[in-house]
Amino acid sequence: MSHSHEQGLLYGLDARIGPVPAFIAALQHLLASVVGIITPPLIIGSVLGLQAYIPYLISMSLFVSGLGTFLQSRRIAGVGAGMICLQGTSFAFLGVILSGGLMVKGRGGSAEEIMAMLFGCNLVAALIPILISRCVGSLRKVLTPVVTGTVITLIGISLIKVSITDWAGGHNATDFGSPGNLALGALTLLVIVALNRARNRWARLVAVVAGIAVGCVAAALTGHLPLTMTPPEHWIVLPALFRFGFAFDWTIFLPIALVAVIAVIEAVGDLTANCLISQQPITGKPFQQRLQGGIVADGLSCVLAAVFSAFPNTTFAQNNGVIQMTGVASRYVGMLLGMMLALLGLFPFIGSLLQQIPPPVLGGATIVMFGSVVAAGIRVMTQTPLGRREMLIVAIAFGIGLGVEAVPEVLKQFPPLINSLFGHAVTTGGLLAILLNLVLPDEGQASDAVEAETLTES
């Protein structure tokens, strides 16, 4: 049989999978992530006055996400994690990119000059994860299960906020939180859960797609799906190398470089969760090699993004939830997914059609996926017993990380750069967990030191 006998998975990591189930599984990953991929270029383009170039930026974001996803899944010459690690436009860079773009705009720079500067700085910053990957052994000593599990859990909690906002109607919705929106999301979720718990593996395989389809039909019948398709200016968009040129500025580069370091921490968390859900080891040499390849591929995806005029990429966490829901971990699905995303970038009208999915339907579909990311983080965190020291690390990282995200005004007296860097639970909580893990002595080491001191005195 082609499917995996491993508990909880229909298809294991290296299992061959037929074209129809592979397409269905890949489509569910695509639906879970396409909005997240195109949202950052939409925001950046609107704020920086790049409206004329937004369609091209969106197309290139999808195209580069496809290339990066294929590389991660295929794992060429040790580059890539060899898992379904979807590469998507990173929200972590949003604040520093907007700050840098506004700085160039304030100097009188044109739209082309703004993008030349941003993509130039992003290209140099993309080398950072590649360099960090060379010392992944040392990195694992810092990123213990407690630290990694904390980061994964914070990622999941942050995503849940996005999901519940969509469920209620999305940002700036006039009917935010209306019973109709909540009912649409609930119907979508109910269909997904019912199919996921069915004994038929095809039912589980199509659960997310079916849930979204039912939600869209219900939305159309209740007037929540007003299709506003406008013919695209170009039916096919061809990528161009350094379309806007290349520029560099240390003042703009340094904040982007700092976020690139922080993004590695997030990537380690996502890759660890992916290994856990795909039933791969999260310790030992194979895991270290997978982690190293994944971080290198993350960096190369960012290089490709800068070259093809897209914003920095990162490994998306929500796709771990899709693996959990569908039971399909086959990396061949990841390769197909990469090709589908690249094609979406070349044919923008398809992406425009997918944008019409109502936010409540997406929210209902993603809430359980993002909850799965939280559950994976807790599983990683509890791989080893949590003593007093570990509980203290988790408590402080969660308390301050989630506190800062819940009350962002706490940082309003600081410069905007500090606000954009440390106003997120993943960044603040992850860095605190790492710092406390390094500073607080291990209970075993502390007891050994006390015993040695006692022996010396005697």
**pLDDT of 57-90, one tens digit each?**
888 999 999 999 999 999 988 899 999 999 998 8
Q: Are 341 and 88 in contact (CB under 8 A)?
A: no
Q: How confident is the model at residue 299 (pLDDT cuts 50, 70, 90)?
A: very high
Q: How does pLDDT run across 345-373, given as a tens digit for each residue?
A: 898 777 667 667 788 888 888 787 778 77
Asked if residue 394 is part of any domain, the answer here is no
Top mean pLDDT of 29-33, 126-130, 261-265 is at 126-130
- Report the pLDDT value the prediction gives residue 3, as an integer from 0 to 100: 45
DSSP secondary structure string for all residues of 170-219: -TT-TTTT-HHHHHHHHHHHHHHHHHHTSSSHHHHHTHHHHHHHHHHHHH
Asked if residue 390 is part of any domain, the answer here is no
Residue 455 has pLDDT above 80, yes or no: no
Both tokens assigned to 321? 């939830």
- Report the pLDDT value the prediction gives residue 229, as an integer from 0 to 100: 57
Residue keyed to tokens 């396409």: 34
Between CA 331 and CA 11 the distance in angstroms is 10
Between CA 52 and CA 114 the distance in angstroms is 13
Q: How confident is the model at residue 5 (pLDDT cuts 50, 70, 90)?
A: very low
> In a 10 Å sphere around its CB, with 0-12 CB exposed, 13-18 middle and 19+ buried, how is residue 431 labelled?
buried
Q: Are 4 and 201 in contact (CB under 8 A)?
A: no
Q: Are 30 and 337 in contact (CB under 8 A)?
A: yes
Between CA 293 and CA 147 the distance in angstroms is 20
Q: How confident is the model at residue 232 (pLDDT cuts 50, 70, 90)?
A: low
**195 or 265: which carries more pLDDT confidence?**
195
Residue 92 has pLDDT above 90, yes or no: no
Between CA 124 and CA 119 the distance in angstroms is 9
Q: How confident is the model at residue 1 (pLDDT cuts 50, 70, 90)?
A: very low
Q: How does pLDDT run across 404-452, given as a tens digit for each residue?
A: 888 888 888 888 767 767 777 877 888 898 899 889 887 665 555 445 4
Both tokens assigned to 337? 């997914």
Using the 8-state DSSP alphabet, how is residue 82 labeled?
S
Which structural domain range is residue 372 located in? 19-382
Average pLDDT over residues 95-104: 81
Give the chain's end-to-end CA distance (angstroms, integer). 67
What's the mean pLDDT when you consider all of the chain?
A: 83
Domain count, the chain: 1
Question: What proportion of the chain, given as a percentage, has pLDDT over 90?
Answer: 27
Asked if residue 193 is part of any domain, the answer here is yes
- Report the pLDDT value the prediction gives residue 228, as an integer from 0 to 100: 63
- Report the pLDDT value the prediction gives residue 4, as an integer from 0 to 100: 45
Average pLDDT over residues 94-99: 76
Asked if residue 10 is part of any domain, the answer here is no
Asked if residue 166 is part of any domain, the answer here is yes
- Report the pLDDT value the prediction gives residue 363, as an integer from 0 to 100: 84
Look up the pTM and report it: 0.72
Residue 456 has pLDDT above 60, yes or no: no
| Cross-strand bridge partners of residue 89 | 313
Residue 31 has pLDDT above 60, yes or no: yes
- Report the pLDDT value the prediction gives residue 133, as an integer from 0 to 100: 87
Asked if residue 447 is part of any domain, the answer here is no
Q: How confident is the model at residue 301 (pLDDT cuts 50, 70, 90)?
A: very high
Average pLDDT over residues 254-278: 83
Average pLDDT over residues 306-322: 87
Between CA 195 and CA 215 the distance in angstroms is 14
338-342, 346-350, 454-458: least confident range: 454-458
Q: How does pLDDT run across 374-397, given as a tens digit for each residue?
A: 887 888 788 778 889 999 999 999
Asked if residue 226 is part of any domain, the answer here is yes
